[in-house]
């Protein structure tokens, strides 16, 4: 109770006692309000209402306006969710303000006639009663301001805001949005004591941050900066200010500085301690992510945590709960739970049936885990996995290397090289380069590790440059798009261009520049920067950039392919459209039924596969719209080109025969090559008997174009044959 008064224990004496206390107003008003609240809470509402009316009249008679209005607010709180009484509360509020007609008029702007909670109406009314000249206020839009005039007749208030002086607001809107800061608020101190505040900013940045947190509540670092800059701290001084403040705040046990900039800085009521109270709250936690975050705190706290049998049991039980809850559907959370348990030296209860580390020694789960884990946790996860079974972990990493995203590939390679598996890793990279299957992640890793590149794949720059052009022409998103952009940035570096193009022939350099010039999805300014870097080192290539302006027209690449290859892509499109996409849509529907989509691995995996399928569908539709099927009949065969069979004779006497078909045509057994291949381009327009230079694994080689003729029967048969059934989309990270 507000004051120590003696209340009769006999309820029959309460009325006589209450009436006697009214003579002692306003001093006993708070105590009497508490007494009435207690009566209402005990269900004596009718009696409490009657006595509240008497108290209101007595307070009005004594001009105790604020207490009279408070008595009405407290009475209204006895009837939550009673809209039929809103008119009563409005009448009683006007009665409480009976001594001032202007104050009574303010009730019409407090929201009693609108769908606003009654408690909010009283808050608004109390705020309006304080709006007098000189009162300080805050608005989310206009910031700090000083009230100049409140006009109850026209229902408007005039405020000088820092951003807009003389701004008018309706009283109803002002009641809804304005805040009245207390004397300790940062902006109030800055307004009333400007010199002292400037000195505080200069001499004690940490206290300014504490003051900001007390004034505005917990804030992330970026939001704190926006609150203080430039009104309180100059933009140029922010770094010095924040560095000094953070250094001191780290030593303050009542300030919590989070590890992430996106998390709020908080003022604590008491110093943070990992005591019985903290572990009791930890034991009650039922959500996986907070459990993992709390276990991270325990690891970071180190010796600040006092362990005993109880606290160890709680931590082990909660991590087991998180691990079991995550299961193999949320492998990143499962990994964090098991890693943190080991880091804290905890043995998880056997009865919890928690998945063991062996679950990660399977290709699909390992790839999924590395994909979902934050980048900063990939290396600790792989190191931890190696402690469980180094041999199996290394073997599995070598198996999945081509399917890893760049960040995971970097960490995996570091572990493999550290674990003396460099020879096997080298074989993996060397095979990918030799078979020309290396994709953007492999290429970028090799280019960033020139010592491994020179050792593992020496003298392969012609192939690497060809693969680079292939990757630049692809359309990626997500992590692979970031890797592709980093590959583009390399081409803008003069040092890399000198190393990469140095071993190439003039023809190969020209083809590379042409590829850069034609590569899609490349910002034009970046493309020009890359081409300028190449031409700066090899000025003779400038003609490639000016070819169009000078009317030099390169041989047009035919947009045709065989009937077989065209039909093969048609079948792929039909399967994706009629089988794969409907199937994945059904899987998404099933995954939705599992609940929370934020932690639903099945839903996430199905959506990613749907993205892959839709992108592949669009690619096939575009390709089929640009390329025409052909049987390659009745084409001239006097010179090498589309629809011809050519035979090359090498210096050692052996011969090779190739059949040049359309853009999508390839068959190694029949010697079928695409018209867009480097070999076909090198032979374009050449006649039998000419000596030609053709691409080789190491630069170029010279040979004789022995024969040029029509396509043989087996190749004609292949062209018109039905293609094999389309394969399923490969299980690989989305590209």
Contact 409, 432 (CB under 8 A): no
Which residue, among 204, 176, 183, 42, has the nearest Cα to 116 in the 3D structure? 176
Calpha distance 171→699 (Å, rounded): 82
Q: How many CA atoms lie within 13 A of 308 on its CB side?
A: 6
Q: What is the pLDDT of residue 553?
A: 41
Calpha distance 403→573 (Å, rounded): 24
CB < 8 Å & 24+ apart, contacts of 302-305: 304/274, 305/274
Contact 616, 729 (CB under 8 A): yes
DSSP state of 595: S
Residues of the chain short of pLDDT 50, as ranges, are 1, 548-558, 730-735
**Helix, strand, or coil (residue 663):** coil
Backbone CA torsion sign across 560, 562, 567, 573: negative
Residue 611: CB partners within 8 Å, gap ≥ 6? Answer: 477, 734
Which residue, among 574, 577, 575, 607, has the nearest Cα to 589 in the 3D structure? 607
Residue 554: alpha-carbon gap to chain centroid: 45
Calpha distance 206→228 (Å, rounded): 13
The dihedrals phi and psi of 24, each to the nearest 5 degrees, come to -100, 15
CA distances from 110 to 33, 50, 67, 76, 171 (A): 23, 26, 18, 15, 8
Which residue, among 37, 40, 11, 29, has the nearest Cα to 65 in the 3D structure? 29
Residue whose tokens read 């509020």: 93
Residue whose tokens read 């090359």: 648
Give the DSSP per-residue string, 706-725: EEEEEPPHHHHHHHHSPPPP
Calpha distance 622→559 (Å, rounded): 12
Number of other CB atoms surrounding residue 342 within 10 Å? 15
The dihedrals phi and psi of 66, each to the nearest 5 degrees, come to -60, -40
Altogether, the residues listed in the chain come to a count of: 735
Q: Give the pair of three-digit tokens for residue 717.
A: 């048969």
Backbone region of residue 517 per phi and psi (left: phi > 0; alpha: psi in -120 to 50; beta: other values): alpha
Contact 456, 426 (CB under 8 A): yes
Residue 361: CB partners within 8 Å, gap ≥ 6? Answer: 385, 389, 392, 393, 396
Q: What is the pLDDT of residue 147?
A: 97
Q: What is the pLDDT of residue 555?
A: 41
Calpha distance 494→501 (Å, rounded): 10
Name the packing angle between helices 238-249 and 205-216 (round to 10°): 80
CA distances from 626 to 469, 558, 566 (A): 21, 10, 11
Q: Give the pair of three-digit tokens for residue 511.
A: 């083809």
Residue whose tokens read 């301001």: 145
Give the DSSP per-residue string, 493-550: -HHHHHHHHTTS-HHHHHHHHHHHHH-SS--HHHHHHHHHHHHHH-GGGHHHHHTTTT
Residue whose tokens read 């392969």: 460
Which residue, among 463, 461, 403, has the nearest Cα to 428 in the 3D structure? 403
CA angle 564, 570, 575 (to 5 degrees): 125
Helix (H) or strand (E) holding 658: strand 655-661
Residue 578: CB partners within 8 Å, gap ≥ 6? Answer: none
Task: State the first-to-last Cα distance of the chain, in angstroms, to the nearest integer.
Answer: 68
Q: What is the pLDDT of residue 436?
A: 78
Calpha distance 504→460 (Å, rounded): 10
Calpha distance 191→203 (Å, rounded): 19
Calpha distance 177→138 (Å, rounded): 8
644-660 per-position pLDDT tens digit: 999 999 888 899 999 99
Q: Give the pair of three-digit tokens for residue 189.
A: 């101190």
Q: How many CA atoms lie within 13 A of 414 on its CB side?
A: 13
Calpha distance 144→190 (Å, rounded): 10
Q: Give the pair of three-digit tokens for residue 473.
A: 């022409």
Helix (H) or strand (E) holding 2: none
CB < 8 Å & 24+ apart, contacts of 44-52: 45/78, 47/14, 47/15, 48/75, 48/78, 49/75, 51/15, 51/18
**What is the torsion angle, in degrees rounded to the nearest 10, for the CA atoms of residue 646, residue 647, residue 651 and residue 652?**
150
Helix (H) or strand (E) holding 676: none
**Helix, strand, or coil (residue 290):** helix
Q: What is the pLDDT of residue 250?
A: 86
H, E, C per residue of 386-446: HHHCHHHHHHHHHHHHHHCCHHHHHHHHHHHHHCCCHHHHHHHHHHHHHCCCCCHHHHHHH
Calpha distance 198→512 (Å, rounded): 61
Calpha distance 96→103 (Å, rounded): 10
Contact 603, 594 (CB under 8 A): yes
CA angle 235, 238, 241 (to 5 degrees): 150
Helix (H) or strand (E) holding 110: none
Q: What is the pLDDT of residue 547?
A: 58
Contact 657, 683 (CB under 8 A): no
Name the pTM for this structure.
0.50
Calpha distance 123→69 (Å, rounded): 11
Residue whose tokens read 């109030």: 188
Q: List, in sequence order, every residue forming a beta bridge with 145; answer none if it has no partner.
A: 137, 161
């Amino acid at each position: 109770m507000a004051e120590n008064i003696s209340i009769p224990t006999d309820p029959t004496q309460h009325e006589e006692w209450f009436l006697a206390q009214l003579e002692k107003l306003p001093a006993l008003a708070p105590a009497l309000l508490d007494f009435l609240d207690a009566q209402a809470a005990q269900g004596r509402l009718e009696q409490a209402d009657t006595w509240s009316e008497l108290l209101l009249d007595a307070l009005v008679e004594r001009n105790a306006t604020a207490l009279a209005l408070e008595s009405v607010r407290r009475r209204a709180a006895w009837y939550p969710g009673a809209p039929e009484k809103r008119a009563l509360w409005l009448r009683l509020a006007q009665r409480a303000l009976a001594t001032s007609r202007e104050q009574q008029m303010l009730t019409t702007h407090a929201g009693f006639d609108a769908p606003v909670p009654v408690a909010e109406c009283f808050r608004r009314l109390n705020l309006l009663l304080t709006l007098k000249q000189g009162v300080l206020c805050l608005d989310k839009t206009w910031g700090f301001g000083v009230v100049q005039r409140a006009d109850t007749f026209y229902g408007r208030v005039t405020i000088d805001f820092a951003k807009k002086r003389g701004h008018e607001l309706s009283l109803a809107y002002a009641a809804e949005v304005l805040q009245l800061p207390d004397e300790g608020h940062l902006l109030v101190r800055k307004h009333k004591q400007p010199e002292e505040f400037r000195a505080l900013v200069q001499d004690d940045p940490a206290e300014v941050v504490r003051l900001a947190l007390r004034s505005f509540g917990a804030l992330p670092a970026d939001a704190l900066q926006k609150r203080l800059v430039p009104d309180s701290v100059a933009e140029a001084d922010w770094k010095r200010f924040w560095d000094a403040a953070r250094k001191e705040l780290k030593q303050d046990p009542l300030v919590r500085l989070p590890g992430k900039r996106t998390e709020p800085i908080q003022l604590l009521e008491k110093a943070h301690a990992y005591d019985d109270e903290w572990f009791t709250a930890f034991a009650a936690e039922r959500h996986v992510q907070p459990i993992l975050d709390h276990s991270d705190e325990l690891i970071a706290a180190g010796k600040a945590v006092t362990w005993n049998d109880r606290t160890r049991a709680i931590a082990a039980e909660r991590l087991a709960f998180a691990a079991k809850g995550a299961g193999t559907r949320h492998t990143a959370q499962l990994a964090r739970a098991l890693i943190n348990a080991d880091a804290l030296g905890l043995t998880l209860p056997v009865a919890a049936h928690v998945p063991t580390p062996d679950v990660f020694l399977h290709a699909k789960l390992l790839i999924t885990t590395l994909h979902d884990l934050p980048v900063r946790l990939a290396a600790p996860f792989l190191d931890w996995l190696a402690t469980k079974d180094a041999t199996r972990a290394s073997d599995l990493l070598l198996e999945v290397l081509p399917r890893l995203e760049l960040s995971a590939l970097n960490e995996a390679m570091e572990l493999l090289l550290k674990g003396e598996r460099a020879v096997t890793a080298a074989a993996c990279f060397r095979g990918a380069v030799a078979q020309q299957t290396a994709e953007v992640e492999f290429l970028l890793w090799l280019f960033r590790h020139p010592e491994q590149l020179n050792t593992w794949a020496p003298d392969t720059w012609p192939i690497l440059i060809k693969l680079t052009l292939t990757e630049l022409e692809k359309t990626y998103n997500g992590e692979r798009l970031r890797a592709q952009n980093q590959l583009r940035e390399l081409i803008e570096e003069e040092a890399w261009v000198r190393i990469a193009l140095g071993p190439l022939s003039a023809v190969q350099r020209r083809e590379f520049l042409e590829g850069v010039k034609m590569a899609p999805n490349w910002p034009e300014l970046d493309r020009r920067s890359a081409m300028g870097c190449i031409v700066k080192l090899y000025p003779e290539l400038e003609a490639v950039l000016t070819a169009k302006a000078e009317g030099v027209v390169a041989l047009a690449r035919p947009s045709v392919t065989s009937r077989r290859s065209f039909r093969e892509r048609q079948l792929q499109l039909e399967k994706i459209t009629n089988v794969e996409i409907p199937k994945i849509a059904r899987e998404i529907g099933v995954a939705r039924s599992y609940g929370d989509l934020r932690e639903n691995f099945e839903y996430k995996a199905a959506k990613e596969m749907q993205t892959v399928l839709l992108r592949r569908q669009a690619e096939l539709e575009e390709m089929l719209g640009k390329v025409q099927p052909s049987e390659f009949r009745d084409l001239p065969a006097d010179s090498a080109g589309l629809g011809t069979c050519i035979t090359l004779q090498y210096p050692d006497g052996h011969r090779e025969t190739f059949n040049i078909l359309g853009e999508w045509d390839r068959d190694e057994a029949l010697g079928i090559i695409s018209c867009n291949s480097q070999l076909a381009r090198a032979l374009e327009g050449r006649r039998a008997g000419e000596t030609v230079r053709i691409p080789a694994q190491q630069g170029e080689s010279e040979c004789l174009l022995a024969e040029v003729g029509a396509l043989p029967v087996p190749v004609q048969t292949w062209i018109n044959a039905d293609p094999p059934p389309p394969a399923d989309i490969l299980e690989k990270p989305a590209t």
